[in-house]
Amino acid sequence: MPGTFRFSFGPWNIHEGADPFGPPVRPGMPFTQKLALYKKLGFDGVQLHDDDAVPNLNELSGAQIERSAAGLRRTLDDEGLVAEFVAPRLWEDPRTIDGGFTSNDENNRRYAIERSLKAIDIANVLGTKKIVLWPAREGTYIRESKDARLAVERILEAVNRMLAYDPEILILIEPKPNEPMDQAYLPTVGHAIGLAYLSDDPSRVGALIESAHAILAGLDPSDEMSYALAHKKLWSVHLNDQNGLKYDQDKSFGSVDLRRAFMQVWVLDRNGYGNNGEFVGMDVKAMRTQRAEEATQHLANSREIFLALLAVVRSLDTARIDQLIAQRNYEQLEIEIIRALMGR
């Protein structure tokens, strides 16, 4: 069955252009103004960090958090939008300097778990069951600083705490091999899914695959997606592009390697992605050179490229492809795919 595609992004994908070497180059846009742009850009789903949804949540009581989240829920309803997921932001607070769940400090580990449980409370008010865990600082700068086996056990303990806290919540691990850490403990989808099977409820732990994160691990994003699909654990994607092994670029989907992007669309469509309500997330950033007036174009462009590649995938003669595969004529298969991509 072919896929059904709805698109999502997070408020961080409309940003001011700051990088580690320079300040913002565009004025910030208030969150509600960003929400008003979603539909115009062709997007229906909103991805949220816990503090995107509820600013300053560390200073708020449980009741205040719920009230704030309920306010956002009304805004989303008014805009005709849905919350796709909530992700606890475990990489900015001083208590997460040495990691969240894998910090060497017990009090800080407790903070990370409590913060993750608050993200679940927010998700419940917003009407989503999906919690994304990007284990940003769960890793090391030097190998001697942490016990790697213990670190995995601590991540597992945190996942189990979250599963026990809410019997319906789904945990989507977003693996990334490096940045901000030198080495991360869950660098690939294989690691994420291995951890899922160790958990108290493997059926509720899955993955979000980001194209650039797979590329940074030296892997093909469509293969990473296929691996998760084989386990029925591909519950979200962050499509984007990445020009080689360097800092995480979050370039527009398909902007570096159209054929690699095409293969991701092929895999998603052929596996009926989206038929259980999964979103196609675009985790893309505008170039720093982009003027404020045009700093949302990268989102619409990524969606346009996805849909154009989907049209190519669906235009292919599958009987012809099967015939070339049977003849093992992969040279001919390759030229026909490239011709299709070039519209010839």
Please indicate whether residue 49 is annotated as part of the active site: yes
Q: In the bound complex, which residue of the shown chain has the CB atom lying closest to ligand 3MF?
A: 134
Stretch 161-200: interaction string toward Mg ion, x if CB under 5 A: ----------------------------------------
Contact at 8 Å (CB) between 94 and 137?
Answer: no
Candidate residues 4, 12, 29, 153; the one interacting with ligand 3MF per rule CB under 6 A: 12
Size of site (CB under 6 A) for ligand 3MF:
10
**Which residues, numbered 185-224, are part of the site for ligand 3MF (CB under 6 A)?**
210
Please indicate whether residue 238 is annotated as part of the active site: no
Buried-exposed string 273-309: b where 16+ CB fall within 10 A, e elsewhere: bbeeebbbbbbbbbebebeeeebbebbbbbbebbebb
Residue 130 engages Mg ion in binding (rule: CB under 5 A): no
- Nearer to ligand 3MF by C-beta: 137 or 146? 137
Show the tokens assigned to 223.
Answer: 């293969």
Size of site (CB under 5 A) for Mg ion:
3
**Which residues, numbered 299-338, are part of the site for ligand 3MF (CB under 6 A)?**
none
- Nearer to ligand 3MF by C-beta: 174 or 224? 174
The DSSP secondary-structure symbol of 129 reads -
Candidate residues 14, 65, 82, 87; the one interacting with ligand 3MF per rule CB under 6 A: 87
Secondary structure, 3-state, 230-254: HCCCEEEEEECECCCCCCCCCECCC
Buried-exposed string 110-125: b where 16+ CB fall within 10 A, e elsewhere: ebbbebbbbbbbbbbb
Contact at 8 Å (CB) between 16 and 328?
Answer: no
Residue 285 engages Mg ion in binding (rule: CB under 5 A): no
Binding piece for Mg ion, criterion CB under 5 A, among 40-48, 139-147, 179-187, 276-284: 276-284
**Which residues, numbered 223-252, are part of the site for Mg ion (CB under 5 A)?**
238
Measured CA to CA, the distance from residue 202 to residue 110 in angstroms comes to 23
Distances, alpha carbon 189 to alpha carbons 70, 210, 315, in Å: 33, 10, 30
Shortest gap between Cβ of 300 and Mg ion (angstroms)? 19
- C-alpha triplet 14, 84, 263: angle, nearest 5°: 80
The residue annotated as part of the active site, out of 15, 19, 50, 52, is: 52
Residues with Cβ within 8 Å of residue 110, at least 6 apart in sequence: none
Contact at 8 Å (CB) between 84 and 130?
Answer: yes
Give the up-direction half-sphere exposure of residue 60: CA atoms within 13 A in the CB hemisphere.
20
**Which residues, numbered 249-288, are part of the site for ligand 3MF (CB under 6 A)?**
283
Shortest gap between Cβ of 140 and ligand 3MF (angstroms)? 18
Report which secondary-structure segment, H or E, holds 192. helix 189-198
- Nearer to ligand 3MF by C-beta: 5 or 12? 12
Shortest gap between Cβ of 88 and ligand 3MF (angstroms)? 9
Shortest gap between Cβ of 241 and Mg ion (angstroms)? 13
Which residues make up the interface to Mg ion (CB under 5 A)?
210, 238, 283
Which residues make up the interface to ligand 3MF (CB under 6 A)?
12, 87, 132, 134, 174, 176, 210, 238, 248, 283
Q: What are the residue numbers of the active site? A: 49, 52
